[in-house]
Amino acid sequence: MTDSGASACPAVEFHDVTVAYGRRPVLWNIDLVIKAPGLFGILGPNGAGKSTLLKAALGLVPLVGGRVTLFGRPLAEVRSRIGYVPQRETVDWDFPVNVMDVVLMGTYARLGWWRRPGAAERDRARAALERVGLVDLAGRQIGRLSGGQQQRVFLARALAQDAELYFLDEPLAGVDVRSQERIFRVLDDLRREGRLVVVVHHDLRTAADWFDGAALVDMRLVAAGPTAAVLTPENLRRTYAGHIDVLDELGRAVARGGRTA
């Protein structure tokens, strides 16, 4: 088993996780343990299944094999301790909601059915907005924000969830440098508060500086552990030089129910 450093408990455990889209496997037999607290990066080429791995942890895609435990328990029991920032592409920016509306959504799970957000929820939302520096834009419709501001809104929503474990999917993609640093500082604060932040990240350069632990994923787990140990030239070659043509062909054969050539 690989681990990601310091003390404390295993917060995220993937046991032999295989995920398929349709009948075609896209993630093969992932075994990974991520310990809290920390700032952990999931790295790899485009289309490698990094987002899929995150979604598997959150129960957003079905598992063909294996299981995921969070804090040693199945997802359903610990949802209230999990925060999530999805990829920005999936959002409908024309939707008639403003910044405050979106951030308040982070408080909904704790409110439960039928109850409306009240003063306490608004305060939590405002505090989250202050942390990301957007409290002045609380009334603006989300389509009227810059890329960096949009990303910070969704980060604020996750902060409003007040979770112990955060999953972020490419939070820094297409974001200007200043916003990137701002976002990173928020994530760093979370780590210092004793939480675990798992980030799907696209940029290897910043990865070395920011994350204490990392996993290299390319349809299967290539390596995981302390960042410096993982980002070796050998590992990077194994990931980015692409041996996934094997996995690609196999995936297609599995989907067909037959053999490869």
Partner 1 sequence: MTIDTAASMWGEFSVMHAWAIATAAVVAAGCALVGTLLVVRRMSLLGDAISHAVLPGIAVAVLAGGRPGGVLVLVGAVAAALVTVLLVQVLRREGGLADDAGTGVVFTTLFALGVVIITAAASRIDLDPGCILYGILELVPFDTVRVAGWEMPRAFLTGATVLMIVAAGLAATWKEQLFTAFDIDAARAVGLPVAAVTGGLLAATALVTVASFEAVGAILVVAMLVVPAATAELLVRRLHVMALVAILVGVVAAVLGYLAAWRFDTSAAGMIAVVLGLEYVVAAIVAPEDGVVARVAARLALGWRVTCEDTLALLWRADEAGAGVAPQPFRSPGEWAAGLWLAASGRIAREAGRWGLTAIGRAEAETVVRSHRLWEAWLGRHADLPLDHLHPPAEWIEHHLGADLRRRIEADVGAEESDPHGRSIPREP
Partner 2 sequence: MNSLAAIPYNTLVVAAAVAVVGFASGVVGCFGVLRRRALAGDAAAHATLAGVVAAFVVTGRRDLPTLLVGAFVAAMASLGCLVVIRRFTRTRDDAATALVLSVSFGIGIVLLSGLSARGIPGAGGLEQFLLGHTAALTATDAITLAVVSAAVVLVVWAGLKEATLVSFDPAFAAATGWPVAVIDYALVALVAAMVVVGLPAAGAVLVTALVVIPPVAARQWTDRVPTMLILAGVIGLVAAVGGVAASAAVPRLATGPTIVLVASGLFAVSFFCAPERGWFARRRGV
Residue numbers at the binding site for partner 1 (CB under 8 A): 1-2, 16, 18, 28-29, 31, 65, 94, 220-224, 238, 243, 246, 249-250, 253-254, 256-261
The answer to whether 79 contacts partner 2 (rule: CB under 8 A) is yes
The entry of partner 1, partner 2, none that residue 190 binds, CB within 5 to 8 Å by partner kind: none
**Whole-angstrom Cα Rg for the chain:** 19
* Beta-bridge partner residues of 47: none
The answer to whether 82 contacts partner 2 (rule: CB under 8 A) is yes
**Can you read off the two tokens belonging to residue 31?**
């075994």
Neighbours of 155 (CB within 10 A): 27
Q: State the Cα–Cα distance between residues 8 and 11, nearest whole angstrom.
A: 9
Query: Shortest gap between Cβ of 201 and partner 1 (angstroms)?
Result: 18
Task: Give whole-number Cα distances, 213 to 76, 140, 247, in Å.
Answer: 26, 37, 26
C-beta of 1 vs 114, nearer to partner 2? 114
Neighbours of 259 (CB within 10 A): 8
C-beta of 22 vs 112, nearer to partner 1? 22
Q: Pick the closest to residue 222 from 243, 239, 247, 200 (CA basis).
A: 239
Query: Shortest gap between Cβ of 42 and partner 1 (angstroms)?
Result: 13
Give me the 140-179 binding string for partner 2, x by CB under 8 A, dash otherwise: -x---------------x---x-----x------------
Query: Given the rule CB under 8 A, which of 6-14, 24-32, 107-115, 248-256 is the region that contacts partner 2?
Result: 107-115
Q: Pick the closest to residue 135 from 154, 121, 159, 156 (CA basis).
A: 156
Amino acid identity, position 65: G
Binding residues for partner 2, per CB under 8 A? 55, 58-60, 76, 79-80, 82, 84, 86, 90-92, 95-98, 101-102, 105, 108-109, 111, 113-114, 116-117, 141, 157, 161, 167
